[in-house]
Structure 1
């Protein structure tokens, strides 16, 4: 539980009580001068009006009902994940500690926005204990939030658009109509979760885009004439991140909720009674159980449950193609949900499941053959086919050397760049990107994956293909005498699982992994034909790596048909290198951040140049401490091998022989060329 102590005089300006309603905490509650009532208001990651993800620094509005009374909290600032706690400004501290009721400074600053609190590192002692702590919390593991009243979070501008464009009944805007308008917004926001205990899905903003009416776009842009539909699609394809699409979503939701038929009361059915349903329609009920399928599927998008259908176990499996990023699916035998219920109201649906029932969402609409491979239930799972016909590569996004997200690349548009930008914003740029290219010659035959991962024993993968071995992650380092530094107890050897395909197997491997709402991935596995437990060998303690706890990758310099060097835009220093070989295979070393960095291309290089470089920058958290980093400059030459007539070679140029070792951390790079003996 996170405590954010605040003087009572600054608690109420940001909380707008609905006019004419009773006190939200009930008569007598919080009346003791010594007792403090702690109220948690959950701050969500996606806007209830436009469905787009919040970014650090954006201002929000929170709606929550307590004792049937609506509270509207304004001026909440969304923050990143990377900082341990919020930084207080001088004004914040003044408001926190000032005891004067007639203080002019307090009166002028009472409209200051609230900050989302974090775990406090210090205990602030006030001379007067506040009667109520209203904590705006976004910790995914907070028990108080799980049991508190449900809230919704909305962009401030989306909330203002909703108020302006949502009209319930006639246009009188009386108290009852306003009550109903806010209730509908709260209902739509809570229904973004298919059931109360569901973890946030955090859909990418691009997955929330839809073709908007031409009349609406033209009006928002201030044009009297209506755009042609093809012009709208062209604008949207080039300006997918523009704020206009967020405004369109908020206005459409306001109009949809305003026109919804409120005379139809909410109805609830046992899940086995529902045959099919889609958002905005009336559910079709089962008339003959023998004709209904034995499985039920819930299709879920950024607004919650989109549709429901029953199907049989003979439906074809669809794991071969890349999963759609706009949907997730719940697929269960109908008897497993016999005690679950589903509620329909205003064209929206929501599950109510027993407390002891744990269900998972999947990235594929038919995961029946994969369910038995999961050791125990995880809230959200993804299955990626590693068939080179569909998958051209895999990107691993890591912080503190552990995997946060895995993304598959395909010939169609991928959202990997959008996710990378979002994670950089949320983790204060501390994101590493490891790309593994796949070709027809790079069909994966085996994978060894480290188990029981922690930040001290981070993720590590060894991938075998037809053309060689690929290493992803950080190996476990041994210490002297194989003992830990903390308590001098023997280090347990790292353990992994080796997944192998049969030699004559023609089917592609499927990578299965958990998608955590926060923290590291606890489960990564495959559907291989054979599994074997392995014991990791520690890195030789006498072998000194140029960068401690670095990511490592390696690639051959021979038989290269083309090469791409990825360099950061600010300093033009090498971040990664992508090799393509004459046999059709590919290898990536370092960080090949597709679509993010500058890329230089050479065809059939004859020689390679690299030179060491250093740079420094000031850490914003410690402005008086300058940090120096190592890096390299890399280029290739397709016209000269830089060998003189006497056999000498130009300085820092190397032949395309041997192999290249590449170590990197977030801001450091070291490379080494090893020639064959």
Structure 2
């Protein structure tokens, strides 16, 4: 397509414009560091100069190019843009160091296994080009293929934490410790590193480390018991104070920990290793068998185990740890280095790291034993343990759905509001209830239309999600499900449920095989868009022990309700997102509780902008009985065989909803 812009609106560079020949030094064969801008201890700015030659060439090149560039620019805006660029780069960058605190740095060309060296004083006039003899260039031409082997700090921060010992041996140990225990520098993809950065720090620091940090900040903490200090810590884990404690703790470990020679081997030869141990336990046999489990925490690799027999599935999450399980023969090409009680694994170029888990023993067949719904977009999975769950919220998206579990006891409504344009659904579970089976289906009329059927021991069959009008495709089924595995998202990939464990195959005589096109017809008042089908939920109105009804503050319109039955089973019907207690708008729905209701009244929708209302009562309500706008239903005794069905618009428009009270069995599509 031809451009519609006139020549005066397009800034073009003359074709003969080139950089001055030989302006940049030939440093392609040298190692370049990514320059950090913060002190590793206090996280305040530090600046590292580049080589003097590179700085001078930057200025000289800028001056030499000015006339050629200005003559090539065809608009005033382009001239102004280039002027800003010139202003930013024509000054001497060394001047920025004038008012900075004295800085130092540790560097290593091969940070994984090489020797770390110290440059104690960084001055504004120093020339770092002399380090080119070591194969290092400081011109800031970062090479993303080279790991970051540079640690910067203020001199006073370093002295306060590490003391005055600047010996070569200690600096080598310190640089390696800072590199090997920094989770940002592990050999993973950027998305995996970002995910691992979210691991909460256990922060089980020593009492003397906390006391020493207190002295630096002028706090007398030595008399407080460790339990009190950790209780304080739980309220401010991200405070700068605890970063100082962390590095003091590391310095203490370096002084007290083992001092060993570097040992490099194949990961497949390792039987067992724990951080702090003198050396790993190595295999003496040539045969490689079983699986390897690698454990990662906030300080990097902390444990390696050879599993000769795959243990039973353990779904108990370890909040401060992540795990990698791989077959032992896949570990042959992974290098493992051990020194001073620490470990480094070379995982960058390996393709055997299939998944990072938050549980120590995932299913032995990994995802092959699960009801898989979508291909895993990444190699990270989080676990929702269904063995002891008190509630489950599903958020539906264009790509599937994501889930959030709640511990027992079940909340009356989902505990958070989700910014969802596809709708949310909530299922509460009583303390003595359990999920018998779970089925996920996709309706053919909309590719993004997902419905989930869940049967619990006390509440029967519950529907969560979209109400599709066409034939459905079963994409996952699990008998006695124990866990949901979910991709946590990252980059351009959304968070979504990937699989249900274990994978099951329903027999022809299973009750779920009879559930083909469920649900009554969608009421005509509900608009159905191309990619938005209504969220449908329903509940039986028999044997209700108590009901919590949530109404909008404005006109009292129905938002949702939490039902507890006499057998202690529970259900939620309504718009789970609007009933969430932490709404962005701050408008909390009003809650009304009724015990042992016998009568239900519904104020039906008369036009599109009208919000329907629901009232429960014990006995007749004369005011509502005499109102032509309200319809009453007996929900007790032999005649109380009713179901309440609710459809809501997934985009959040509250007036696009509909309530219907239908005879029992209507949820199967049997409408009288």
Name the TM-score, length of structure 2 as normaliser. Answer: 0.59
From the superposition, tell whether residues 500 and 365 of structure 1 become closer, same or farther in structure 2 (CA, over 3 Å): closer
Residue by residue, what CA displacement relative to the aligned partner does 1:443-496 show, whole Å, maximum 9, x if unpaired? 333332247999952543222334332222335577xxxxxxxxxxxxxx7633
Instruction: Provide the residue aligned with 1:120 in structure 2.
Output: none
Contact 1:605 1:639 in 2 (8 A): yes
User: Take 2:630 and 2:155, find their aligned partners in 1: how far apart are those partners?
Assistant: 62
Instruction: Provide the residue aligned with 1:642 in structure 2.
Output: 621
Match of 1:406 among 376, 379, 403: 403
Question: Secondary structure of 2:359's partner?
Answer: coil
2:525 paired with 1:525: no
Contact 2:390 2:429 in 1 (8 A): yes
Contact 2:384 2:405 in 1 (8 A): yes
Question: Secondary structure of 2:452's partner?
Answer: strand
CA apart distance, 1:276:
2.0
Instruction: Provide the residue aligned with 2:195 in structure 1.
Output: 202
2:545 paired with 1:561: yes
User: Take 1:605 and 1:161, find their aligned partners in 2: how far apart are those partners?
Assistant: 69
CA apart distance, 1:397:
4.1
Instruction: Provide the residue aligned with 2:275 in structure 1.
Output: 279
CA apart distance, 1:163:
7.8
Instruction: Provide the residue aligned with 1:617 in structure 2.
Output: none
Unaligned 5+ runs, structure 1 = 1-6, 8-24, 31-38, 51-58, 68-92, 112-144, 479-492, 502-506, 614-628
For 1:409-420, list aligned pairs within 5 A.
409-411=406-408
CA apart distance, 1:164:
2.9
Contact 2:334 2:345 in 1 (8 A): yes
**How many residues align structurally?**
520
Q: Greater CA radius of gyration, 1 or 2?
A: 2
Instruction: Provide the residue aligned with 1:189 in structure 2.
Output: 182
Match of 2:229 among 232, 237, 242: 232
CA apart distance, 1:201:
6.1
Instruction: Provide the residue aligned with 1:673 in structure 2.
Output: 660
User: Take 2:153 and 2:547, find their aligned partners in 1: how far apart are those partners?
Assistant: 51
CA apart distance, 1:215:
3.0
Residue by residue, what CA displacement relative to the aligned partner does 1:8-37 show, whole Å, maximum 9, x if unpaired? xxxxxxxxxxxxxxxxx972479xxxxxxx
Question: Secondary structure of 1:447's partner?
Answer: strand
Question: Secondary structure of 2:211's partner?
Answer: helix
Match of 2:566 among 573, 582, 587: 582
Question: Secondary structure of 1:199's partner?
Answer: helix
2:356 paired with 1:361: yes
CA apart distance, 1:554:
2.2
User: Take 2:79 and 2:288, find their aligned partners in 1: how far apart are those partners?
Assistant: 62
Question: Secondary structure of 2:195's partner?
Answer: coil
User: Take 1:290 and 1:631, find their aligned partners in 2: how far apart are those partners?
Assistant: 76
2:531 paired with 1:551: no
Unaligned 5+ runs, structure 2 = 1-10, 12-22, 52-76, 97-141, 636-641, 664-671
For 1:219-618, list aligned pairs within 5 A.
223-224=219-220, 226-236=223-233, 239=235, 242=236, 245-258=238-251, 260=254, 267-289=263-285, 294-313=290-309, 315-319=311-315, 322-344=316-338, 347-353=341-347, 354-371=349-366, 372-373=368-369, 379-387=379-387, 390-400=388-398, 402-403=400-401, 405-411=402-408, 433-439=424-430, 442-450=433-441, 457-466=448-457, 467-475=459-467, 495-499=473-477, 501=479, 509-517=482-490, 518-521=493-496, 523-530=498-505, 545-546=526-527, 548=529, 549=532, 550-565=534-549, 576-589=560-573, 590-591=575-576, 596=582, 598=588, 600=591, 602-604=593-595, 606=597
From the superposition, tell whether residues 263 and 348 of structure 1 become closer, same or farther in structure 2 (CA, over 3 Å): closer
User: Take 1:477 and 1:166, find their aligned partners in 2: how far apart are those partners?
Assistant: 70
CA apart distance, 1:663:
1.4
CA apart distance, 1:667:
3.1
Please, what is the CA RMSD of the aligned residues?
5.9
CA apart distance, 1:516:
3.9
User: Take 1:301 and 1:461, find their aligned partners in 2: how far apart are those partners?
Assistant: 35
CA apart distance, 1:325:
3.1
Contact 2:602 2:612 in 1 (8 A): yes
User: Take 2:393 and 2:86, find their aligned partners in 1: how far apart are those partners?
Assistant: 58
Residue by residue, what CA displacement relative to the aligned partner does 1:430-454 show, whole Å, maximum 9, x if unpaired? 7965332223775333332247999
Match of 2:83 among 99, 115, 139: 99
From the superposition, tell whether residues 459 and 65 of structure 1 become closer, same or farther in structure 2 (CA, over 3 Å): farther
From the superposition, tell whether residues 171 and 531 of structure 1 become closer, same or farther in structure 2 (CA, over 3 Å): farther
User: Take 1:48 and 1:660, find their aligned partners in 2: how far apart are those partners?
Assistant: 60
Deviates more, 1:547-556 or 1:93-102: 93-102
Contact 1:661 1:673 in 2 (8 A): yes
